[in-house]
Amino acid sequence: MMKLSKATMKPAGTKSSYSWLIMAIVRAVIVIFCVVTAVFFIIRIVPGDPAKMILGEYSTPEALERMHHALGLDLPVWEQFIRFVKTLFTQGDTGNSIIAGTSTRELVAERAPVTLLLIGMACVLAVVIALLLAAVAATQKDKLLDHLIRIFPTVTLGMPIFWVGLLLILAFSVHLRWFPVGGIGEGWSGTLYSLTLPAITVAFSQTPTLIRSLRVQMIEVLESDFVVTLKAAGIPGRIILFKHVLRNAALPTLMLLGVNISYLIGGTLVVEQVFGIKGIGSLLFTSISNRDFPVIQGIALYCAIGVVIISLLIEIISWLLDPRTKGKP
């Protein structure tokens, strides 16, 4: 009964873990399939003729017909869909750009590094700021600092991200001259330097939700029994906070970030526009003004698949990190 051998514990754990992993992956694959379908239908759900949108209101019927043919719109819907999926598998994208003629994949790949870097910087900033503020608020619960930090999300929730960017430019670039007004600097350090303000802007839009939930999580951890046990055992307060409380709060943070990653990417696309950064966001807006459908679809597809994969990875990582999910005797 009390014996605890590897043999009695492992099998149950591993079996359930494998099936969990497989289920999670299968689910992600199904969602990706749905995403592909949604991207295909996105220009068909909404009213209006895509060909007309590309050529403009006053196009000739012949030109419209040619465009229909070029886009494959004269085929039955299911055949169009098969063509769409086929391109996706053979070319890895949604077809060639109507304007540039090059493949969507190349166009996006060219712009991706800056955007990914911006997203990464924003993620790190958001987590660090949110964790710090939430920790302060939780340890100072119901005191002045806590109240101030709690007001912060209420005030910032309604701030349009591009407006925050404008104000930051006004304060830090125009008046203080700490940062460039826009664009990307030369080399690694220049790039990082010029991306700092945009990253702060994106992070700023993420922190309200993060702080709100993290504060509650932290308070829960701080008031949990094991913290009392550690206190009773005489472990110093800073060790409890940094080694035990933060570790326990880190998992929910990761999960939260997974939920918010999609929102973060969307915000990044808008912020790029404010700061004049030539990333995926600016590609999206040029394609929109050029009515370059394949590129728009491609961006939507890559972003959505990216979100699905990142969420899956985060789910797997937090599952791996959390011992409670494994080997219940």
Partner 1 sequence: MKPITVNPQLHEDGQSTSIISRIWRIPALLAGGIMLAVLVLLAIFIPFISPHDPTGQDLSAFLQPPSAKHWLGTDQLGRDLFTRLIYAARTDLTIMVLAEIIPFCTGVLLGMIAGYYGKWLDSVISLLTDTFIAFPFYLIVIIVAFASGAGQRGIYITFMLVGWIVFARVTRGLTASFRQQEWVASAQTLGLPGIRIILRHILPNVLPQAIVVLMTDMVGLLVAIVTLGYLGIGIAPPTPDWGTMISDGQPFITTAWWLSAVPGLAVVYVGIALSLVGDGLADLWRKK
Partner 2 sequence: MMAIRPVLEIDALSLAAKSNKKLVDNVSFSLSKGETLGLVGESGSGKSLTLRAILGILPRGIEQVGGTVKNEERSAMVFQDPRGSLDPLCPVVKQLTEVVYYRQRLSRRASRKAALELLHMLGLPASLQTSDRYPSQLSGGQCQRVVIAMALACKPGILLCDEPTTALDVTVQKQIMETISALQVELGFAMVFVTHNLAIAAAMCSKLCVMKEGKIIEQGNTLSLLQNPQNPYTQMLMNSVLPVPELEGSD
Nearest to partner 2 of 57, 225 (CB atom): 225
Show the binding pattern over residues 135-154: x = contacts partner 1 (CB under 8 A), - = does not.
-------------------x
Q: What's the closest the beta carbon of residue 3 comes to partner 1, in angstroms?
A: 37
How many whole angstroms separate alpha carbon 54 and alpha carbon 290?
7
Coil, strand, or helix at residue 186? Answer: coil
Let me know: does 66 contact 74? Beta carbons within 8 Å. no
Interface pick for partner 1 out of 158, 187, 234, 323 (rule CB under 8 A): 158
User: C-beta of 8: minimal distance to partner 2 in Å?
Assistant: 11
- Choose the stretch contacting partner 1; rule: CB under 8 A; options: 91-99, 110-118, 296-304, 313-321: 296-304
Cα–Cα distances in angstroms (integers) from residue 38 to residues 32, 53, 103, 296, 298, in the given order: 10, 20, 21, 13, 12
Q: Contact, 278 vs 285, CB < 8 A? A: no
Contacted entry of partner 2, partner 1, none for residue 5, CB cut-off 5 to 8 Å set by kind:
partner 2
Question: Residue 303 and residue 38: Cα distance in Å, rounded?
Answer: 13
Output 222-227 pairs: Cβ under 8 A, ≥24 positions apart: 222/138, 222/139, 222/141, 224/248
Determine if 236 is a binding residue for partner 2 (CB under 8 A): yes
Binding status of residue 50 toward partner 2 by CB under 8 A: no
Per-residue tokens: 293: 């459908």
CA–CA separation, 262 vs 272, rounded Å?
A: 16
Is 264:122 a contact under the CB 8 Å cutoff?
A: yes
Binding partner of residue 124 among partner 1, partner 2, none, CB under 5 to 8 Å per kind?
none
Distance CA 258, CA 321 (A): 15
Q: Is 223 in the site for partner 2 (CB under 8 A)?
A: yes
Give the pair of three-digit tokens for residue 42.
């996105």
Please say whether the beta carbons of 283 and 298 come within 8 A.
no
Comparing CB distances to partner 1, the nearer of 253 and 297 is 297
x/- mask, partner 2, residues 91-130, rule CB under 8 A, reads ----------------------------------------
Question: Residue from 285, 314, 316, 317 that binds partner 1 (CB under 8 A)?
Answer: 285
Residues making contact with partner 1 (CB under 8 A): 27, 30-31, 34-35, 38, 42-43, 45-48, 50, 53, 154-155, 157-163, 166-167, 169-170, 174, 262-267, 269-270, 273, 284-285, 288, 296, 299-300, 303-305, 307-308, 311
Residues making contact with partner 2 (CB under 8 A): 2-6, 9, 141, 223-226, 228-236, 239, 243-244, 247-248, 251, 321-324, 326-329
